[in-house]
Structure 1
Amino acid sequence: MSARPDRQLHLNLFITATGHHEASWRHPGSPVENIYTAKHFQDLAQRAEAAKLDAVFFADIPALTPQVEHGPAGHLEPITTLASIAAVTERIGLIATASTTYYEPYNLARLFASLDHLSGGRAGWNIVTTASAAAAENFGSEPFPDPAQRYARAEEFLQAATRLWDSWEDDAIIADRASGRYADPAKIHRADFAGSHLSVGGAFSAPRPPQGYPVLVQAGSSNEGRAFAARWAEAIFTAHQRIEDAQAFYADIKSGAISAGRRPDDVVILPGLSPFIGSTAAEAHDLEQELNELTVPAYGLRQLSALVGVTLGEDDLDRPVPLELFAGAGDVTDNNRSRFQVVAGIVERERPTLRGLLHRLAGARGHRVLTGTPDQIADSIEEWFTRGAADGFNVMPPFHPGGFEAFVDHVVPILQQRGLFRTEYEGRTLRENLGLERPANQYAGTLAGSLAEAIA
């Protein structure tokens, strides 16, 4: 697939506390002392909005990772954090990760509906299913190791959540002071969802969100994840090192959407990109090397083990990574295996030492790290965009604030000059800016399950 001439890039800022490089907190300009303040995240979001980026995005896992000794592994709850950002921004989208395994549909639907109302229609939900044993402990439950079981619950979760968001028809509120009628009960419906994993009864406690639903985002590249994405996802975050792999994924997802009765443009595909930017290529490589030299091997080894389940020791740092450790990359049956394949590809193509592999993963945990001048970064973005590998990118600055400032100050203007990226927002909602339609209300025009029936 090649790009249409009228397409525009989509760019998100993937926010982490100090940046995506694991040693970013040790950088001299790091804001590490302020990473639990609203102002830190508000400043980044305002900078992203000034550059006309589509959205800011927060990942999340409801557990403390063991890497906290060597890096700021603690993180704030993302929906609350985004509410603080909504108060100081006007147009930029607000995407939060939340798990269908450790929420219930009613309370999560309320959180996202509230964020969408309070922001004027800018909320997005990155849907994850969470197989973490540490997260399971925090909720007093057994982990869900089987992807099929997790995605079966997620499927029901989305059915229930969309029924809740559709509970109020768009014209349910009358607000007629003269007659004393605030709302029409015939246009407010019970969810009445009963599945094998979840059930939800009552009508929703708030009117339909401005966007109808928050933009539904998905980050799984597993077989189960791709099938789920074909039915539900409106944006997909993914990780690829090579353009040919990204093109294959792009074509597969777009074809899956068509098979599910959707249009290819109904799904926006956004690979991760972590750029090291310098005025010369040598300066950019020096910057990357500077951060790599600040890494702590013990941290990187734990990350490698968590990422792909391969355990090696510090005695192995300057030895080539054994190819046989990655011989079982095979078919992608879950999201951990998909990232395993990415790392296996690096090992097979580059034959790095363990230290070299840790440095390759330190910047973005298997997402693409691109090092060069602003023009070189822009050239690569344009190539992937115009050659059917991406609709845009999830930008993962290696360090804050300088790494992000370099991108918006020097790369974004080049993309705008080339006519690839907006100079003004298309609309006020995240859906409008992503070119996504507002979903129709599934209850519109029906009396079934309405409050009017219950009153009668």
Structure 2
Amino acid sequence: MSRRLITAIEIDGAGSHPDAWRGASVDPSAILTGELALRAVQRAEAAGIDFATFVDTLEAPADEPSRVSARLDALGLAARIAPSTDRIGLIPTVTVTHTEPFHVQASVATLDYVSAGRAGWLAEVSTSAEAAAVIGRREPAEAADTWREARYVVDVSRRLWDSWEDDAIIRDAPTGRFIDRDRIHYVDYSSPAFSIKGPSIVPRPPQGHPLVAVRLSSAEALQAGADADLVLLPGATGLDDRLAEVRAASLTPRVLLSVSVALGDGPAAGVDYAGGVEELADLVEGWNAAGVDGIHLRPASLELDVPVIAEQLVPLLRERRLLGPAVERATSLRNRLGLKRPANRYAGSGR
């Protein structure tokens, strides 16, 4: 039985294809100013797409004349785009292996404020020696260790977001009291990798907890998916078996199928789907019937494929009743996806 689909797009430089920046319609300088990404996200928002993800890695792009050898920080790019949008969700990739958990949660909480409750983050790990050398804080670790640590980071982030109760800020100017210290709490968190006393330096985010997403790129990531609100399932090959694995792991998040697509006249080699809109809509309808909650589209070219997605594919999916009406008013990303705002675990505890 089909259900209302969640829709999302990926922002990755000029597109997911490495030659996307060569397109005649692409201004390469717009990649590094954020203008190209902003244009794509605004098109997606106008079409009613639910959220955009932003690619990032700790490794520097290869320094090759045929490639764009720089990438904007995903969190910074999402913060740049937030004030110029008002409905679409913004989910940047944050690699947690070499970054401080306290700063990660504060940055994501700040994005939730900047976007008025439309933020999330795609938790990622790094096992590469190159990333370890760039950061210089520790040696590379195995995937199992990095994903185990990522789960601790997600856990402590949620605790730190709860370290301020919703009514901790009182702003009582006549008495000079601006916060109620009884509503700010220590988290006193310890893990094998780090310890944090808290509280956070950022008040509780508008959504309570910004959304946590995980890309199910390995068996270790599958286990971490248990801590997420959304999971991305890369590629459509063997979908039934992989959905069975997700169900066997007793995961409760929304599951989105993540596929690279080429719908315009740009580069198409190596993408999951290259072809017409009608045929892709047929595939999406089948994936939805198979049990996925949404579709995460990775355009080969932002300039060529996002307009086709926004102006042709999304209206067609809506015509087939796979999508509901476009959201016309500002709302939180949690509300948009039908997810409850979490209760504060420390409220009334007196800790």
Specify which of 229, 235, 246 is matched with residue 234 of structure 1: 229
Aligned to 2:56: 60
- Conserved 8 A contact 1:427-1:433: no
Distance apart, 1:26 and its partner CA: 2.0
Paired amino acid for 1:94: L
Specify which of 75, 78, 81 is matched with residue 82 of structure 1: 78
Q: Secondary structure at the match of 1:432?
A: helix
- CA distance, structure 2, for counterparts of residue 54 and residue 68 of structure 1: 35
Paired amino acid for 1:247: D
- Quick check: 1:400 aligned with 2:302? yes
The total of aligned residue pairs comes to 350
Specify which of 67, 70, 78 is matched with residue 71 of structure 1: 67
- Conserved 8 A contact 1:98-1:126: yes
Compare the two structures and name the one with the higher helix fraction.
Answer: 1
- Conserved 8 A contact 2:236-2:259: no
Paired amino acid for 2:342: P
Q: Secondary structure at the match of 2:9?
A: strand
- Quick check: 1:9 aligned with 2:10? no
Q: Secondary structure at the match of 1:405?
A: helix
- Quick check: 1:149 aligned with 2:145? yes
Q: Secondary structure at the match of 2:262?
A: strand
Mapping for residues 28-427 of structure 1, pairs under 5 Å: 28-66=24-62, 68-230=64-226, 232-242=227-237, 245-257=238-250, 264=252, 267-277=253-263, 287=265, 291=267, 359=269, 361=270, 363=271, 369-388=272-291, 390-425=292-327
Task: Return the TM-score normalized by structure 2.
Answer: 0.93
- Say what the alpha-carbon RMSD is for the aligned residues: 1.9
Fraction of identical pairs, as percent: 32
Paired amino acid for 1:403: D
- Conserved 8 A contact 1:63-1:134: yes
Provide structure 2 residue ranges, at least 5 long, that are not aligned to the other structure: none
Distance apart, 1:191 and its partner CA: 1.9
Q: Secondary structure at the match of 1:68?
A: coil
- CA distance, structure 2, for counterparts of residue 436 and residue 254 of structure 1: 19
> Moved runs in structure 1, 4+ residues, more than 6 A?
none
Distance apart, 1:185 and its partner CA: 1.2
Q: Deviations over 1:134-186 (max 9, x none)?
A: 11111114443312221222222222211111100112222233443322211
- Conserved 8 A contact 2:215-2:233: yes
Q: 1:442 to 1:217 in 2, by over 3 A?
A: same
Q: Deviations over 1:206-264 (max 9, x none)?
A: 2100111110000133222111112x11111221233xx22222233244336xxxxx4
Aligned to 1:296: none
Q: Deviations over 1:180-206 (max 9, x none)?
A: 332221110012112211111131112
- Conserved 8 A contact 1:56-1:92: yes
Q: 1:14 to 1:105 in 2, by over 3 A?
A: same
Higher mean alpha-carbon deviation, 152-161 vs 86-95, is at: 152-161
The structure having more radius of gyration, on CA atoms, is 1
Task: Return the TM-score normalized by structure 1.
Answer: 0.73
Specify which of 317, 320, 331 is matched with residue 428 of structure 1: 331
